Homo-oligomer: A and B are copies of this chain.
Amino acid sequence: MCQLLGMNCNTPTDILFSFEGFHRRGGLTDQHADGFGIAFFEGVGCRLFLDDQASAHSPVSDLIRRYPIKSKNVIAHIRKATQGRVALENTHPFHRELWGRNWIFAHNGNLEHFAPARGQYYRPVGDTDSEAAFCHLLETLRQRFAEPPPLAELTAAVRELAASIRAHGVFNFMLSNGDVLFTHCSTHLHYLVRQAPFSVAHLVDNDVSIDFAEVTTPSDRVAVIATQPLTDNETWTAHPKDTVLVFRDGAPLAG
């Protein structure tokens, strides 16, 4: 299996602290050594850094650890290959454009007997179940909505698609268009919301602490979502199973 990390904020924020712990799971504190990737939305722009090396040892990962890119939506993934060989085209997150916006997707799990019909708008480049699921998701959204629908309709469609795809196996995923971050949990996903009053957080994977009170303003709000909790002195909430959450402005929306 793989590990997922997501961040959704109400103001552009860097992910250096969370990534410091997370990247060690790619070959150091855990065995997800078959590549890694991280995508940052900056306004409507998006950049995606990929490497087929383990995140604990990758030069690209070194860059990410040093370069404080400020973003309101981030998705990162470290891979332990289940389907698809270790290759760049099979490295998450995946990227496509829909309705003139960037969309990013990463998946943890394994889908069996999942063979959607060839899409009109989107086709996988690699041979993972994950990219096939992403293309099927966007294909269905695009077929159903020629223009971007209101968020409630979009969310309902994502929920319906998640339910149909998870019938094929474990389907923990993160999906973002730079505005909201959709998360779906089949097995393991945890999240927390950091907001004032901020305090000190300490990583699980490395003896590193940060006092968020020193680096935030009182109105900041940041949600961090990860396969397993990244800190050992904060309260992480288990993501409800078989459920899609929608994070916007640093917190899950009600409903």
Contacts and interface: CB of A to CB of B under 8 A. Distances in A.
Interface of A: 42-52, 59-60, 62-63, 66-67, 87-91, 95-97, 99-102, 121-126
Contacts of A45: 50, 52, 87-91, 125-126
Given A45-B87, A101-B125, 7 more contacts: A45-B50, A45-B125, A96-B97, A97-B123, A99-B123, A100-B123, A100-B125
28 contacts: A42-B52, A42-B87, A42-B88, A43-B87, A43-B88, A43-B89, A45-B87, A45-B89, A45-B90, A45-B91, A45-B125, A45-B126, A46-B88, A46-B89, A47-B49, A47-B50, A49-B49, A59-B63, A59-B67, A60-B67, A62-B63, A89-B102, A97-B122, A99-B123, A100-B123, A100-B124, A102-B125, A121-B121
Contacts of A67: 59-60
Contacts of A59: 63, 66-67
Contacts of A47: 48-51, 88
Contacts of A88: 42-43, 45-47
Contacts of A52: 42, 45
A206 to B, nearest CB: 22
A138 to B, nearest CB: 10
Given A49-B49, A59-B63, A67-B60, A44 B89 contact: yes
A59 to B, nearest CB: 5
**9 A-B pairs closest in CB distance:** A45-B88, A45-B89, A100-B123, A47-B50, A63-B63, A59-B67, A42-B88, A44-B89, A44-B125
